[in-house]
Amino acid sequence: MKTRSFLMAALVSALALTSAHAQQIIGTPGSPSATQVINGNQLPPPPLKFGGVIKETAPDSKPYWPPRVVPPKGAPNVLLIMTDDQGYGVSGTFGGVVPTPAMDRIAKAGLRYTQFHSTALCSPTRAALITGRNHHSVGFGVIGEMSTGFPGYDSVITPDKATIGTILRDNGYATSWFGKNHNTPTYQYSVAGPYDQWPSGMGFEYFYGFMGGETDQWTPYLFRDHTQIFPFVGKKDYNLITDMADEAIKYMGDLNAAAPEKPFFVYYVPGGTHSPHQPKLEWREKFKGKFDMGWEKLREQIIANQKRLGIIPANTQLTPWPDGQAEYAGAKLPKWDSLTEIQKKLYAREAENFAGYVAYTDHEIGRVIQAVEDMGKLDNTIIIYISGDNGTSAEGTLEGTFNQMTAYNGILSLPEAEQLLHYEDWGQAKTYPHMSIDETFDVGLDTRSGVDDSYELPFKFTGTIEKLTFKLGPSQMTAEAQKAAAEALKKAMD
């Protein structure tokens, strides 16, 4: 939790630097243009007493407008970027084989963190990130689609768990959210509302994005604030990854034109690279033939890059390939040389497509960053670029699929002939693809041992989970023991 808490604390501290001027009115008191900087001890701030005069007649009365809350002078803009389902060895910035120049730019100009804590799941990591709290304490012990209705798992962020959007909005920032929203309860995905659990209810004044864990990038389930929109209709070359960047750039430009002194908080979270992997064709083609060497050699190349960059210690050992070892619970993954030529062709295409999606997403993020510079605001903008809310997904099964919905419905193997029918249009509008778990790009691999896919090299899972039993029923604990457990849980969450 330290990294997420640092993020929240850093942004709030930036507002507190000028607390000596808190609650002071700037400009002519009572005029519509009067403003105030608050100390932030209470949000929203308590209303000020009416400062005018009310008599029996208008000429004898004096109006008084309450001052508008603004951030301290010089408060920084914030651009918080997070990609989706990208593990430790994906980006070139951290030793991967996919060039990510936008991320390189941020890394070279600032700090590169290698121990960011995630929850290994989408919704929980995102809930923790925007609240600065343990994900269980804000209702996201699991992804929203699997919420249970029990405390810590109901997918509801209560009002007392304010997001960074709420905090900055109430301090006078312009707040916006672009891209994936995986923190609204699934039963509230409706234009009928209520909207208290939508971005607007979580402190984000403007929302342009999709609801849920994933969407088709060619024909997305897209909303502008509370209204579903269909910008892809009639646009042959439409892709949400580009559209999202266009919208964010337009939003920042419009804000700069209307109120250049007003700082922004932009939460930019594209669907890339969660499945479906759907880059524009030219991005996939940039990686044609780049993965014909096979996944074992890919792992060796990534670990060598990471050592060279100092991302991992020089003496780090590559985790053994899963080949039936007891430490992997007997799991086996096929080696590249054991595959047929058809399998190699398919798996290489899946990797090319994923790599294209990574590069395409980073390119569009780069456009957003460049827009900040073009406005002359780069030097006063905090940019945080997080590579993935968790590791690369293993939902593509051992083989990969041209339609992720097959795996979601328990179909874990497809005829190669059927897969090959989509070889040329893999990633394009006729497909909804995912890749084989063998090529997660994360160096370490999912060993299908019933834990999760977050133990990637150099973070090898070394424990053993024999059995987990959940018994739902009346508590067997005494009242005193229940009280002690509740207090311990509350302390851990805080």
Give the pLDDT confidence of 431-471 residue by residue, as tens digits.
Answer: 999 999 866 566 543 333 332 333 344 344 344 444 444 44
Chain mean pLDDT for the chain? 87
Q: Is the pLDDT of residue 475 over 90?
A: no
CA 98 to chain centre: 19
Condensed to tens digits (0 to 9), the pLDDT of residues 103-124 reads 999 999 999 988 777 888 999 9
Phi, psi of 84, rounded to the nearest 5 degrees: -125, 135
Per-residue pLDDT of 42-70, as tens digits, reads 898 898 999 999 999 999 999 999 999 99
Instruction: Identify which has the larger pLDDT, 39 or 265.
Output: 265
Choose the weakest-confidence range: 121-130, 207-216, 242-251, 389-398: 389-398
Provide the pLDDT confidence category of residue 490 given band limits of 50, 70 and 90.
low
Per-residue pLDDT, averaged over 210-231, amounts to 97
Per-residue pLDDT for 385 more than 70?
A: yes
327-347: average pLDDT: 92
pLDDT at 297: 93
Residue with tokens 């963190």: 113
Compute the Cα dihedral for 235, 239, 240, 245 and give only its sign.
negative
The residue-averaged pLDDT of 341-353 equals 96
Alpha-carbon gap, residue 182 to 122, rounded angstroms: 7
Instruction: Say if residue 256's pLDDT is above 80.
Output: yes
Q: How confident is the model at residue 185 (pLDDT cuts 50, 70, 90)?
A: very high
- What integer pLDDT is reported at residue 252 of this predicted model? 98
Measure the CA–CA gap between 418 and 415, rounded to whole angstroms.
Answer: 5
Q: State what percent of residues in the chain have pLDDT above 90.
A: 71
Say which residue, 152 or 7, is predicted with more confidence. 152
Q: How far apart are CA 64 and CA 54, in angstroms?
A: 10
Number of H helices, E strands in the chain: 11, 10
Instruction: Kindly list the distances between the CA atom of residue 67 and the CA atoms of 45, 53, 170, 333, in Å, as whole numbers in the listed order.
Output: 11, 16, 13, 65
pLDDT score of 363 more than 90: yes
**SS3 category, 215:** coil
The mean per-residue pLDDT over the stretch 270-287 comes to 97
Is residue 283 within 8 Å of 359, Cβ to Cβ? Answer: yes
Handedness of CA 125, 129, 132, 138 (dihedral sign): negative
Residue 485 pLDDT exceeds 70: no
Q: Please say whether the beta carbons of 235 and 243 come within 8 A.
A: no
Q: Kindly report the CA angle at 221 between 204 and 186, in degrees rounded to 5?
A: 70
Task: Give the least confident one: 22-26, 223-227, 374-378.
Answer: 22-26
Overall average pLDDT of the 34-44 stretch: 91
What's residue 468's pLDDT?
A: 40
SS3 207: strand
Which contacts of 199-203 are long-range, i.e. CB under 8 A and separated by 24 or more positions?
A: 199/165, 200/225, 200/226, 202/130, 202/157, 202/163, 202/165, 202/166, 203/162, 203/163, 203/164, 203/165, 203/166, 203/167, 203/168, 203/169, 203/170, 203/175
Written as one string, the DSSP assignment of 22-66 is TT-EESSTBSTT-EE----SSSSPPPPPP-SB--SSSTT-B--BP
**Would you place residue 3 in the very low, low, confident or very high pLDDT band (cuts 50, 70, 90)?**
very low
Decide if pLDDT at 426 tops 50. Answer: yes
- Return the domain boundaries, the chain: 18-69, 77-439
pLDDT score of 40: 86
Please give the pLDDT value at position 467. 43
Check: pTM over 0.95? Answer yes or no.
no
What's residue 329's pLDDT? 87
Beta bridge partner(s), residue 264? 174
The per-residue pLDDT for 494 is 53
Instruction: Tell me what pLDDT residue 417 has.
Output: 92
Q: Indicate if the pLDDT at residue 203 is higher than 50.
A: yes
CATH code for residues 77-439: 3.40.720.10
Q: What pLDDT is attached to residue 21? A: 45
Give the integer Cα–Cα distance in Å for 83 and 390: 9
The Cα-based distances of 112 to 58, 176, 269 in angstroms read: 62, 25, 19
The one-letter amino acid code at 216 reads D
Per-residue CA distances from 17 to 40, 155, 279, 313 (Å) = 11, 34, 43, 38
Distances (CA, A) of 283 to 97, 279, 385: 14, 6, 21
* CA 310 from centre of chain: 25
Residues with Cβ within 8 Å of 421's Cβ and at least 6 positions away in sequence, in order, are 402
